[in-house]
Amino acid sequence: MTRLWNDPADFADEMIDGFVAANGRYVRRVSGGVARATATPEGQVAFVIGGGSGHYPAFGGLVGPGLAHGAAMGNLFASPSTQQVLSVARAAENGGGVLLSYGNYAGDVLNFDAAQEQLRAAGIPCETVTVTDDVASADKSEIHKRRGIAGDLTVFRTAGAAAERGADLEEVTRLARRANDRTRSFGVAFSGCSLPGAEEPLFEVAPGHMALGLGIHGEPGLGDTEIPTADGLAELLVTRLLEEVPGDVAEVRGARVVPVLNGLGSLKYEEMFVVYRRIARLLDEAGIVAVDPHVGEYCTSFDMAGTSLTLLWLDDELEELWETGVDTPAYRRGSVDTSHLVRVETSDEESEDAIGDADDSSREVARTIAAAFDLWRATIDENVDELGRLDAIAGDGDHGIGMQRGIHAAQAAARDAAERGAGAATTLARAADAWSDRAGGTSGAIWGAILDTIAGHLGDEGVPSPDAIAAGLEAAKTRVAGFGAVVGDKTLVDALNPLAETFAARAADGAGIADAWREAADAATAAAAATADLLPQMGRARAHHEKALGIPDPGAHSLALLAQALLQLTQ
């Protein structure tokens, strides 16, 4: 149970503030998360990790010499936005390029990939290693679909050590991949977790039972069983992982592994030690040498009770890296010479970008766009509970809150830009950035992409034609399709595609914007209604389970609501 918060909506932000206040010797606050308090030595690969909040010490607690250079810290259990990742990477980068690494979840993939693209576009070399250690989350034949859990630590530590020792981006990436290839985890959970302010736990496990392989956000596992003895649990964990020895480990007997027994939040250290006692014996009996055993909390899941065992199967190269000293807020090993590091002076940065030129008619359109966001904000505020309810049928119930967070930020940004004389394209692009930055997660990234793509077709001069808008919608449709969802997946795509297609058809017939939009909005609404009927059939808690998009959510309803709301402007 979570008990302490102020406004739950501010929890993640305030948590980061408090974390930085307590750990100023290690980290500084940057937009989107934290970076080391000391500058990245010139030419060193900047190793940037990240993910949703609620997993402390992942991810901010692992920033410091020998480990990460920065952590993008998203909202609770929600991916950081593309802008957050980008901003942290820029704060950490110092001529050696950037390695991004994170657990393999849909929203994270979306946003880290987008950030990688933007860094590369800006001429900064960037690579990505996703962590896929959870053997319960997909079959051996589909390792790339597996989720990342406490194996984060072994991959991160390997990459951080390689960067610390001066390896270049290609080499750091290779070593991090190698660590991921040789890391396997299996976990169990005894209880769910509750987010700050939530009345109900996000999910539950029957009393006296444990869920095998349950994901750290409640993603489905392999079923329930009665809680065994501590020794019985140790046997279960070791057995599972010995069935999953990485292919390139030549011989189990004589192998050297780093065991990590990770607690999810509410499991006591004492209980973990009792379990580890038996794990140590089982490894020994199998002829496996345990190197630098870890028993503790490395990747938690709020107040969830549960534990996972991770094995990193060492080779000489990985074992040598493992000796590198680490000094971060939550994780310290060996000794670290910090005498050569230079503290970064923090300032009240974030100078405001100047607004580019625009003509009067585009400024008039920009004011209409701002008015549209006013309407949208009111619409989402009215419907936030209903959207949450719909989302809870098949997902984690946070769709309404996520939309609200995004639309509030977007509305403020659009108002601000329009009042400062921005044109239509700039105003909509600013709103898009604000949305994805504040909302985070998958839906934030998608809405940001949609609006940003449309903005690219509006220009900052003149009034956009129906054809330009049609082209923008079509491009947005294509961009969202690139994320992987297709019509019928019960996502926003189900409504976006008919909207774009209907608008384009009417525009091609010579209809004005208002008429074309009315028909397009109706098409979206009809499609969303059809989606709603299917939602209950999708089963619940798949939200974090799917790697790519294709996660059922009420995105189609949100889009239809916004499309209908816009009609008020034409009346």
Contact residues toward a copy of itself (CB under 8 A) are 1-6, 11, 14-19, 21-23, 25, 53-54, 56-57, 61, 190-191, 196, 227, 229-231, 233, 261, 265-278, 280, 292-296, 300, 302-303, 305, 330, 332, 335-337
Catalytic, out of 55, 144, 209, 217:
217
CA–CA separation, 309 and 261 (whole Å): 5
User: Under 8 Å CB-to-CB from 37, ≥6 apart: which residues?
Assistant: 24, 25, 26, 27, 28, 343, 344
- CB 211 within 8 Å of CB 221: yes
Nearer to a copy of itself, 231 or 359 (CB): 231
| Cα–Cα nearest to 46, from 19, 15, 74, 67 | 67
Distance of alpha carbon 346 from the chain centroid: 26
* Helices then strands, each counted (H, E), the chain: 16, 15
Cβ at position 161, least distance to a copy of itself in Å: 17
Q: Is the dihedral of CA 502, 507, 509, 514 positive or negative?
A: positive
Our CB check for a copy of itself shows the closer of 81 and 300 to be 300
DSSP 330: S
**Which residue, 196 or 552, is less far from a copy of itself as judged by CB?**
196
**Min CB(16)–a copy of itself separation in Å:** 8
Q: Of 58 and 126, which has the nearer Cβ to a copy of itself?
A: 58
CB burial of residue 368 (10 Å; 0-12, 13-18, 19+): middle
Give min distance, CB of 19 to a copy of itself, in A.
4
Radius of gyration of the chain measured on its C-alpha atoms: 24
Q: Which is nearer to a copy of itself, 236 or 468 (CB)?
A: 236
- What residues have CB less than 8 Å from 528, skipping those under 6 apart? 494, 495, 556, 557, 559, 560
Contacts of residue 1, defined as CB under 8 A and 6 or more positions apart, other chains included, come to 194, 201, 303
Please identify, using beta-carbon distances, which residue of 4 and 250 lies nearer to a copy of itself: 4
Is residue 217 part of the annotated active site? The answer reads yes
- Sequence letter at residue 95: G
* Kind and range of the H or E run holding 289: strand 289-290
Q: How far is the CB of 274 from a copy of itself (least distance, A)?
A: 5
Shortest CB 199 distance to a copy of itself, Å: 12
Task: Compute how many other C-beta atoms are within 10 angstroms of the C-beta atom of residue 169.
Answer: 18
Q: Output 265 or 464, the one with its CB closest to a copy of itself.
A: 265
Least distance from C-beta 562 to a copy of itself, angstroms?
A: 33
Task: Find the shortest distance in angstroms from Cβ 258 to a copy of itself.
Answer: 12
Looking up tokens 């490894």 gives: 283
Three-state helix/strand/coil letters over 426-461: HHHHHHHHHHHHHHCHHHHHHHHHHHHHHHCCCCCC
Query: Catalytic residues, which ones?
Result: 217
